[in-house]
Amino acid sequence: MSLTVKSLRALRCLWRGWRCLSSRGGAMNVFDRSMKRRQKQWASSLLDSDKYDYLRDEVGSRLADRAYDVSRTFPLALDVGCGRSHIAEHLSKDIVERLFLTDISDSSLRNRKKCEMPTQCVLADEEFLPFKENTFDLVLSSLSLHWINDLPGALRQIHQVLKPDCVFIGAMVGGETLYELRCSLQLAELEREGGFAPHISPYTAVTDLGNLLGQAGFKMLTVDIDEVQVHYPGMLEVMSDLQGMGESNCAWNRKSLLHRDTILAAAAIYKEMYGNEDGSVPATFQILYMIGWKPHESQAKPAKRGSANVSFADLSKISKLQTDHQKTNEKP
C-alpha cells in the first residue's frame, strides 16, 4: 500500500503527539531531554562560552541575594541544574560551607566557574536526584527547571532531599519570556507559509507555580516576578545568543526547519513591532523566583479559623478613632 506525502506527515504528527502525551508516572513528555543534554554540551564547550553567560550570571546573582536574606549558615547545599555554576560564584563560604553541583552536562561541570566554598560535582538529571532523604540544608536552582518534563515530581524530589525547616530557593523563566520573538515568528509563518509551528518552548505560568510548590509539600511560600530585558542588534542575534546559552527549543513537536524567507520576514516584523529608536530590538525574559520551606514543628503556624478577636469591619473605625483622639488632645 502506498502512502501519500500528506499521509506520512499525518503519521509523523500522530507519532509526535503520542510521545508528548505519553506519561512516565503520569508526567507529560514534552521535552526531548537527550536533545537538551546535547545542546548544553555544545554550548558549554564553546571557546567563547563566557560571552553567553550574562543572563544566567545576572539571575544567579539575584538568587544568591535571596539566600543571603535568610540570615542563616548552610552546612550543606545543593545546586540543581547548575550549568557552569552561575550561583556559587556569588556565594561566600560564610553562607554555604559545602556545595554539591548537579547537571545533565558533564561539559558544563568540567567548565564550571570558581567559587570560595568546596564543591563536589554529580552528573545527574534534574528529574532523578540521586540523594537520600533529609540530606541538604539548602537547595538552589537557577534557569533549569523550565526544561523539566515532570516539574511536580522534580519539586517533590527537592522537598524530599531537604532537611526539615530548610529552604528551597529557585528561579525559572515564566510564560511571557521571549514574547517578542514568539509573536514575530508566528506572524511571519502565517504570512509566508499559511500556518505556524511552536518555536519557543512552553513555560510555566506564575499562577501555577504556587500551587505546584504547595502540592510538593512546601510551606511559607514566596513567589515573585522579575523581568530582564536585553537589547540586541536584531532578531538573528537573539536566536544566536539563545543557541550559545544552550536554550534552543527541545520540545518534541518543534519544527526542524525554518525557511530563510520566513526568518527574514520575522526579523522585519520584530524590528517594526518592537524595535527601539536606535535600531536595536528588545528581548524580554520573565523570571519567576520561588522560595519554599520544608515543614517543621518549630515553624510558625497560621491561627485556627474563627479564632480572631478583632473583626475586619472594625478596621474602618481606626482612622475615626485617631481623629477623635487628636481633637481631644488639641482641646485646652
* Chain segment 128-157, per-residue pLDDT in tens: 999 999 999 999 999 999 999 999 999 999
Do residues 155 and 135 lie in contact, with contact meaning Cβ atoms separated by under 8 Å?
Answer: no
The predicted pLDDT at position 324 comes to: 66
Strands 162-173, 281-293: pairing is antiparallel
Q: In this prediction, what percent of the chain has a pLDDT beyond 70?
A: 80
pLDDT band at 18 (very low <50, low <70, confident <90, very high): very low
Strands 119-123 and 219-232: unpaired
Q: Distance (Å, rounded) from C-alpha 61 to C-alpha 56? A: 8
Q: Which residue has the cell 543572563?
A: 55
Contact 167, 138 (CB under 8 A): yes
246 within domain boundaries:
yes
Residue 315's pLDDT band (boundaries 50, 70, 90)? Answer: low
Q: Let me know if residue 217 belongs to a domain.
A: yes
Pairing relationship of beta strands 77-80 and 99-103 according to DSSP bridges: parallel
- Asked whether residue 245 is domain-assigned, the answer is yes
- Say if 60 falls within a structural domain: yes
* Any domain includes 8: no
pTM: 0.80
Residue 251 identity (one-letter amino acid): A
Q: 100 with 119: CB under 8 angstroms?
A: yes
Average pLDDT, integer, range 292-319 = 72
Domain that holds residue 146: 33-329
The answer, yes or no, to whether residue 24 has pLDDT greater than 60, is no
Return the beta strands (E) in the chain as ranges: 77-80, 99-103, 119-123, 136-142, 162-173, 219-232, 281-293
Instruction: Say what the pLDDT of residue 228 is.
Output: 95
Q: Is the pLDDT of residue 298 over 80?
A: no
Query: Distance of CA 262 to CAs 53, 254, 265, 323, Å?
Result: 29, 16, 5, 67
Q: Is the pLDDT of residue 2 over 50?
A: no
Any residues with CB less than 8 A from the CB of 312 and at least 6 apart, and which?
none
Does a structural domain hold residue 103? yes
Residue 86 in grid coordinates? 552561575
Domain membership of residue 10 (yes or no) is: no
**Mean pLDDT value across residues 274-293:** 95
Reference 203, options 131, 124, 133, 285; nearest CA is 285
160 confidence band (pLDDT: 50, 70, 90): very high
Render pLDDT for 63-104 as a digit per residue (tens, 0 to 9): 999 999 998 999 999 999 999 999 999 999 999 999 999 999
Mean pLDDT (whole number) for 101-127: 93
Minimal CA–CA distance to 291: which of 166, 157, 149, 191?
A: 166
Rg of the chain in Å (alpha carbons) = 24
In this structure, is residue 266 part of a structural domain? Answer: yes
- C-beta of residue 301 within 8 angstroms of C-beta of residue 212: no
Long-range pairs of 308-311 with CB within 8 A, sequence gap ≥ 24: none
C-alpha cell of 81? Answer: 541544574
The answer on pLDDT for 274 being more than 90 is yes
* Rounded Cα distance, 314 and 328, in Å: 21
Closest CA to 184 of 252, 277, 264: 264
- pLDDT reported for residue 192: 84
pLDDT in the model for residue 6: 37
- Residue ranges of alpha helices (H) inside 138-219 are 151-161, 179-193, 206-216
Model confidence at 202, pLDDT cuts 50, 70, 90, reads confident
Residue of 201 and 212 predicted with greater confidence: 212
Number of domains in the chain: 1
Phi/psi for 139 (5° steps) reads -120, 130
Residue 229, all three cell numbers: 530585558
In this structure, the number of other CB atoms found within 10 A of the CB of residue 43 comes to 23
Percent of the chain clearing pLDDT 90 (strictly above):
65
The CATH number for 69's domain is 3.40.50.150
